[in-house]
Amino acid sequence: MNAPVKIETTLKDWETDQEVRWCPGCGDYAILKAVQRTLPVLGADPKNTVFISGIGCSSRFPYYVESYGFHTIHGRAPAVATGVKLANPELDVWIVTGDGDGMSIGGNHTMHILRRNLNCQILLFNNEIYGLTKGQASPTSRLGTRSPTTPAGSYDRPAKACAFAIGAGARFVARGFDVSKKLPEVLEAAYRHQGAAFVEIFQNCIVYNKDVFDGFAAPKGAEDHQLWLEDGQPMLFANGTKGITLDHNTLQLAIVDVVDGDWQSAGVIVHNVRNRSIAHMLVEIPFPEFPKALGVLYDDPRPSFEGEVMDEKARMSEGKEPNLAALLGKGQSWTVDDEQGHPAE
Amino acid sequence: MATLAKPPLSEKPEAVVVRFAGDSGDGMQLTGGQFTLSSALSGNDFATFPDFPAEIRAPQGTLFGVSAFQINFGATDIDTAGDAPDVLVAMNPAALKTNLPALKPGGLVIVDEGEFGKRNLDKAKYDTNPLDDDTLAKYDVLRLDISARTIEAVKPYGLGNKDALRSKNMWTLGLALWMFDRDRTPIHDWLKAKFKGKPEIAAANIAALDAGHAYGETAELAGPLRQVHVDPVPTAPGLYRTLTGAEGIALGLVAGCRLLRLPMFFGGYPITPASAILHHLVRMKEFNVTTFQAEDEIAAICAAIGASYAGSLGITSSSGPGIALKTEAIGLGIMTELPLVIVNSQRGGPSTGLPTKTEQSDLYQAVYGRNGDAPMPVIAARSPADAFDCAIEACRIAVQYMTPVMLLTDGYIANAAEPWRVPDPEAFERMPAEFLEEANGPDGQLLPFKRDAKGARPWIKPGTPGLMHRIGGIEKAVDTGHIDYSPANHQAMTDARKNKIEGIRVRDQQVSVGTKGGKLAVVGWGSTYGPIHQAVTRARRGGLDASHIHLRHIWPLPANLGELLGSYDKVLVPEMNTGQLKTLLRDQYLIDAQPLTKTSGQPFQIAELEAAIATYFDGVPGNAGGNIVPPNDQQLPSTES
Interface test with A, best of B39, B71, B470 (most A CBs within 10 A): B470
Do residues B453 and B478 make contact, with C-beta atoms less than 8 angstroms apart? no
Determine, for residues B468 and A67 on separate chains, whether the beta-carbon distance falls below 8 Å. Answer: yes
Determine, for residues B425 and A325 on separate chains, whether the beta-carbon distance falls below 8 Å. Answer: yes
- Chain B: closest CA distance from residue A317 (Å): 4
Q: What pLDDT score was predicted for residue B52? A: 82
Q: What is the mean pLDDT of residues B424-450?
A: 96
Determine, for residues A72 and B37 on separate chains, whether the beta-carbon distance falls below 8 Å. Answer: no
Q: What pLDDT score was predicted for residue B306? A: 98
Q: Is B414 left (phi over 0), alpha (psi -120 to 50) or beta?
A: alpha
Determine, for residues A81 and B290 on separate chains, whether the beta-carbon distance falls below 8 Å. Answer: no
- On chain A, the residues whose CB falls within 8 A of the CB of B474 are 71
Which residues of chain A have a pLDDT value below 50?
1-3, 344-345
Partner B contacted by A63 (CB < 8 A) = yes
Could you tell me which residues come within 8 angstroms of residue B563 by beta carbon, excluding any fewer than 6 positions away? none
Do residues B610 and B604 make contact, with C-beta atoms less than 8 angstroms apart? no
pLDDT(B633) > 60: no
Q: Beta-carbon neighbour count of residue B538 at 10 Å? A: 17
Residue numbers of A between 272 and 311 with CB closer than 8 Å to B = 309
The Cα–Cα gap between B439 and B436 comes to: 8
Do residues B248 and B420 make contact, with C-beta atoms less than 8 angstroms apart? yes
pLDDT(B641) > 90: no
Partner A contacted by B305 (CB < 8 A) = yes
Residue numbers of B between 205 and 244 with CB closer than 8 Å to A = 232-242
Q: What pLDDT score was predicted for residue A40? A: 98
Q: What pLDDT score was predicted for residue B3? A: 35
Distances (CA, A) of A109 to A113, A123, A171, B300, B302: 6, 14, 16, 11, 11
Do residues B210 and B184 make contact, with C-beta atoms less than 8 angstroms apart? yes
Indicate the pLDDT class of residue B574, thresholds 50, 70 and 90.
very high
pLDDT(B627) > 60: no
Partner B contacted by A83 (CB < 8 A) = yes
Partner residue opposite B286 with nearest CB, options A76, A317, A325: A317
Domains of chain A, first to last: 11-212+303-307 (3.40.50.970)
Determine, for residues B292 and A76 on separate chains, whether the beta-carbon distance falls below 8 Å. Answer: no
Q: Beta-carbon neighbour count of residue B113 at 10 Å? A: 17
Partner B contacted by A80 (CB < 8 A) = yes
Determine, for residues A83 and B236 on separate chains, whether the beta-carbon distance falls below 8 Å. Answer: no
Q: Which of B623, B634, B604 is nearest to B546 (CA)?
A: B623
Partner B contacted by A339 (CB < 8 A) = yes
Interface test with B, best of A70, A101, A308 (most B CBs within 10 A): A70
Identify the helix (H) or strand (E) that includes residue B472: strand B470-472
Residue numbers of B between 494 and 533 with CB closer than 8 Å to A = none
The Cα–Cα gap between B341 and B266 comes to: 9
Interface test with B, best of A32, A334, A345 (most B CBs within 10 A): A334
- Chain A: closest CA distance from residue B435 (Å): 15
pLDDT digits 0-9 by tens, B139-156: 999 999 999 999 999 999
Q: Please name the residue of chain B whose CA is at the shortest distance from the CA of residue A340.
A: B234
Q: What is the mean pLDDT of residues B172-189?
A: 94
The Cα–Cα gap between B454 and B506 comes to: 13
Q: What pLDDT score was predicted for residue B638? A: 43
The Cα–Cα gap between B483 and B487 comes to: 13
Q: Beta-carbon neighbour count of residue A57 at 10 Å? A: 26
Q: What pLDDT score was predicted for residue A58? A: 95
Q: What pLDDT score was predicted for residue B330? A: 98
Partner residue opposite B462 with nearest CB, options A71, A88, A316: A88
Partner B contacted by A156 (CB < 8 A) = no
pLDDT digits 0-9 by tens, B297-344: 999 999 999 999 999 999 999 999 999 999 999 999 999 999 999 999
Do residues A186 and A296 make contact, with C-beta atoms less than 8 angstroms apart? yes
Interface contacts A/B by beta carbons within 8 Å: 224
| A64 phi, psi to nearest 5 deg | -105, 5
Determine, for residues A343 and B255 on separate chains, whether the beta-carbon distance falls below 8 Å. Answer: no
Q: Which residues pair with A175 in a beta bridge?
A: A200, A295
| B566 phi, psi to nearest 5 deg | -65, -10
pTM: 0.92
Partner residue opposite A72 with nearest CB, options B37, B240, B473: B473
| B468 phi, psi to nearest 5 deg | -60, 135
The Cα–Cα gap between A253 and B177 comes to: 75
Indicate the pLDDT class of residue B58, thresholds 50, 70 and 90.
confident
pLDDT digits 0-9 by tens, B194-251: 999 999 999 999 999 999 999 998 876 656 678 899 999 888 899 999 999 999 999 9
Partner A contacted by B101 (CB < 8 A) = no
pLDDT(B353) > 60: yes
Partner residue opposite A332 with nearest CB, options B37, B237, B462: B37
Q: Is B351 left (phi over 0), alpha (psi -120 to 50) or beta?
A: left
- Chain A: closest CA distance from residue B329 (Å): 7
DSSP B513: B
- pLDDT top residue among A332 and B532: B532
Q: Is B353 left (phi over 0), alpha (psi -120 to 50) or beta?
A: left
Residue numbers of A between 12 and 31 with CB closer than 8 Å to B = 16, 18
The Cα–Cα gap between B172 and B165 comes to: 12
Partner A contacted by B424 (CB < 8 A) = yes
Q: What angle do CA B51, B281, B507 make, to 5 degrees?
A: 80
pLDDT(B637) > 90: no
Residue at B139: amino acid letter: Y
Determine, for residues A327 and B307 on separate chains, whether the beta-carbon distance falls below 8 Å. Answer: no
- On chain A, the residues whose CB falls within 8 A of the CB of B332 are 72-73
Identify the helix (H) or strand (E) that includes residue B317: strand B313-318
Indicate the pLDDT class of residue B7, thresholds 50, 70 and 90.
very low
Per-position DSSP letters for B538-580, written without gaps between them: HHHHTT--EEEEEESEEESPPTTHHHHHHTEEEEEEEESSSSH
Do residues B329 and B294 make contact, with C-beta atoms less than 8 angstroms apart? no
Determine, for residues A73 and B332 on separate chains, whether the beta-carbon distance falls below 8 Å. Answer: yes
Q: What is the mean pLDDT of residues B576-601?
A: 95
The Cα–Cα gap between B322 and B299 comes to: 11
Partner residue opposite B314 with nearest CB, options A83, A112, A309: A83
Residue numbers of B between 264 and 293 with CB closer than 8 Å to A = 265, 267, 283-290, 292
Q: Which of B588, B470, B613, B442 is nearest to B534 (CA)?
A: B613
Do residues B108 and B116 make contact, with C-beta atoms less than 8 angstroms apart? no
Q: What pLDDT score was predicted for residue A5? A: 77
Q: Which of A45-54, B44-53, B441-450, B611-620 has the lowest mean pLDDT?
A: B611-620
- Chain B: closest CA distance from residue A212 (Å): 30
